[in-house]
């Protein structure tokens, strides 16, 4: 699917399903198989033109959300107003897009530039892994250059001087899709990179809050305050982030049937993330379905991953990836287990690395210290930069419960 094909479909009033090749069969099943065309036509008659895109990859519960074109346009307009508030004229911008159309954050740059009358430049995935070629393909511009990244892409670009130099030319770098590790954030501040950590979901037509780059560079953490068309609140009991706005998805598709997005009586949608409002803005604490209760304490693995990641970076240990998962414990109720991927040349030093990690973890509260450390050479994030926690939980269940290596 190309942007031109998508725009023709919208002009004809159609709803277009978007998915990568690996998910095409799942999407077809969600649309009702042989009845998919009838399903799409019925939805278009009710909601007008739009798209169906995947959501929920991080928790393992894949859903195919309907987003009408009007919702995507509302999101683009809200982002444009956010830019104006920080002194950037949207129509002067060049919006770089390294993500595919079937990812909601790859779809929105098209809508933004379409609405702002700005220029979009699609970046091939291979360029994001080759900073020297990227700098040659996207030379410096006088116009403000915008970019949306996931943390994995940012980390890869920071591995090479050419990537750093190129990022330093940009005006706004939205970073979302997964938590921004503390060590990566601090390095970006040291390099003067204009990051704008943000939060959003497919169900909300992408971004609902973002931290301006100037505040990020001043040392402020979190994801900032809501965009102008969004209201946020935290449930007082569970801590779940709840979102109120007019661009919530009508629902998701199952077997050719639209399942309405669950909302409270007053119209709020409860996300799967816990959050806390602080004086500087919203802090995303982690996935509620991934939280565990250890020794009477609620522990969010994503937060512990960030703290451990910062300690690992400061100690210079050769850890390329770290994922924390819960396991039952007779004493604690649940405890964390750490999955690790070490640098390729660290194999002979694995034992000493594990010992060093256990020492570092002593700086954390007892409820946050991993019970075991397991080497997992194949440990990688998904293409969208998220951890497929259910996949790695299954891997963990297959391991020797007493083995540390």
pLDDT digit string, tens, across residues 135-163: 888 877 789 999 998 888 898 899 899 99
Read off the pLDDT of each residue in 20-36 and give the average, rounded to a whole number.
90
pLDDT band at 403 (very low <50, low <70, confident <90, very high): very low
Read off the pLDDT of each residue in 217-246 and give the average, rounded to a whole number.
95
Distances in Å between the Cα of 367 and the Cα atoms of 295, 317, 327 are 6, 23, 13
Q: 213 with 194: CB under 8 angstroms?
A: yes
Q: What is the pLDDT of residue 401?
A: 56
More confident residue, 1 or 43: 43
Read off the pLDDT of each residue in 317-340 and give the average, rounded to a whole number.
89
Q: Does the pLDDT at position 57 exceed 50? A: no
Q: Does the pLDDT at position 125 exceed 60? A: yes
Q: Does the pLDDT at position 384 exceed 80? A: no
pLDDT band at 107 (very low <50, low <70, confident <90, very high): very high
Q: How many helices (H) and strands (E) does the chain have?
A: 13, 21
Beta-bridged to residue 339, according to DSSP, are: 323, 374
Q: 195 with 184: CB under 8 angstroms?
A: no
Residue 264's CB is within 10 A of a number of other CB atoms, namely 11
Q: 141 with 94: CB under 8 angstroms?
A: yes
Q: Of all helices (H) and strands (E), which one includes residue 175?
A: strand 172-175
Residue reference for tokens 């980390």: 155
Quick one: what percent of the chain has pLDDT higher than 70? 96
Task: Please state, rounded to an integer, the average pLDDT across all residues of the chain.
Answer: 90
Helix (H, G, I), strand (E, B) or coil at 104: helix
The full set of domains in the chain, from first to last, is 3-288 (3.40.50.12780), 291-397 (3.30.300.30)
Q: What is the pLDDT of residue 144?
A: 94
Question: Whole-model pTM?
Answer: 0.81
Q: 241 with 271: CB under 8 angstroms?
A: yes
């Amino acid at each position: 699917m190309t942007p031109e094909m998508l725009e023709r479909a919208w002009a004809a009033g159609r709803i277009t399903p978007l998915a990568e090749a690996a998910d095409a069969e799942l999407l077809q099943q969600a649309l009702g198989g042989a009845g998919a065309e009838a399903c799409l036509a019925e939805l278009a008659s009710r909601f007008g033109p739009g798209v169906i895109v995947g959501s929920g990859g991080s928790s393992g519960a894949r859903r195919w959300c309907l987003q009408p074109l009007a919702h995507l346009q509302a999101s683009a307009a809200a982002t444009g107003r956010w830019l104006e508030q920080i002194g950037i004229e949207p129509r002067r911008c060049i919006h770089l897009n390294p993500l595919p159309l079937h990812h909601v954050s790859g779809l929105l740059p098209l809508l933004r530039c379409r609405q702002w009358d700005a220029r979009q430049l699609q970046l091939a995935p291979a360029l994001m892994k080759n900073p020297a070629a990227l700098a040659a393909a996207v030379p410096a511009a006088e116009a403000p250059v915008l970019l949306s990244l996931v943390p994995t892409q940012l980390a890869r670009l920071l591995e090479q001087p050419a990537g750093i130099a190129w990022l330093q030319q940009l005006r706004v770098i939205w970073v979302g899709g997964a938590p921004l590790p503390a060590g990566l954030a601090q390095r970006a501040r040291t390099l003067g990179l204009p990051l704008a950590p943000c939060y959003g979901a497919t169900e909300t037509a992408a971004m609902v809050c973002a931290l301006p780059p100037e505040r990020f560079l001043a040392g402020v953490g979190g994801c900032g305050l809501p965009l102008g068309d969004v209201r946020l609140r935290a449930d007082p009991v569970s801590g779940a982030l709840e979102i109120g706005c007019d661009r919530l998805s009508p629902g998701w598709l199952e077997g050719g049937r639209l399942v309405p997005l669950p909302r409270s009586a007053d119209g709020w949608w409860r996300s799967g993330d816990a959050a806390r409002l602080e004086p500087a803005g919203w802090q995303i604490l982690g996935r509620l379905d991934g939280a565990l209760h250890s020794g009477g304490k609620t522990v969010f693995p994503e937060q512990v991953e960030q703290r451990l990641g910062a300690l690992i970076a400061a100690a210079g240990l050769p850890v390329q990836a770290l994922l924390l998962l819960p396991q039952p414990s007779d004493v604690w109720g649940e405890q964390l287990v750490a999955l690790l991927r070490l640098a390729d040349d660290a194999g002979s030093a694995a034992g000493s690395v594990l010992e060093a990690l256990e020492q570092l973890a002593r700086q954390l509260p007892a409820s946050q210290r991993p019970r075991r450390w397991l080497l997992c050479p194949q440990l990688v994030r998904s293409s969208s930069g998220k951890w497929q926690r259910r996949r790695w939980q299954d891997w963990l269940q297959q391991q020797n419960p007493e083995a540390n290596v």
